[in-house]
Amino acid sequence: MKIICIGRNYANHAKEMKSDIPTEPVFFMKPDTALLKEGDFYLPDFSKEMHHEIELVIKICKSGKHIAEQFAHKYYEEIGLGIDFTARDLQAQCKAQGLPWEKAKAFDNSAPIGMFVNKNELNLKNIEFELKINGVSKQLGHSSDVIFSFDKIIAYVSQFVTLKMGDLIYTGTPEGVGPVKIGDKLEGFMNGKSMLHLNIR
């Protein structure tokens, strides 16, 4: 399986990163070794600035390429919550040098994933999600604020990359990203329901 991540899909996050609002989806990938299904997250030695990015995650349920937007909804049944961990210091260096971001984004365990729910239980245009650290709210997002919808993302990405069953798409983070430190307890919520737990070690 592969992990596809959408960058700058929330205008206020693009602003806090001092980035332009994209006119078409920005995507990058993480390998399957990035997935962290259970267990703690150990801060790697190579970064001094590990940022949390809470994101809604689409689980692809069948293979497809060149998927038309109006049929994209047939390619996913479940929505979950994940974290796109970002070594912000390394990413800033890569950006400044015009280099790819992989070492800042695609490292081992950089994609914790929580529970999924069937999309029929949700109004996809009205999902609220939140990250709390040590009980304090840090990021509060709303699916109505996305620049590119789930269906638009699938249509766009599948022009370039064949989607396969089990692939995950991290659909972008709202504003409020920031650093984590050893001892932090992260908890993710979707529509008020606790969906993800992670301890930083």
Residue with the CB atom nearest Mg ion in the bound state: 84
Q: What does residue 95 show for φ and ψ, rounded to 5 degrees? A: -60, -45
User: Which is nearer to Mg ion, 53 or 167 (by Cβ)?
Assistant: 53
CA 198 to chain CA mean position, Å: 15
Residue 171 contacts Mg ion per CB under 5 A: no
Q: What separation in angstroms does the CA of 55 have from each of 29, 97, 117? A: 15, 27, 14
User: Which is nearer to Mg ion, 78 or 84 (by Cβ)?
Assistant: 84
Question: In a 3-state reduction of DSSP, which class is residue 95?
Answer: helix
Number of amino acids touching Mg ion (CB under 5 A): 3
- For tokens 């980035």, the residue is 19
Cα separation, 81 vs 126, in Å, equals 15
Q: How far is the CB of 70 from Mg ion (least distance, A)?
A: 27
Q: Which of 53, 130, 151, 167 binds Mg ion (CB under 5 A)?
A: 53
Q: Which of 8, 78, 84, 189 binds Mg ion (CB under 5 A)?
A: 84
Residue ranges binding Mg ion (CB under 5 A):
53, 84, 173
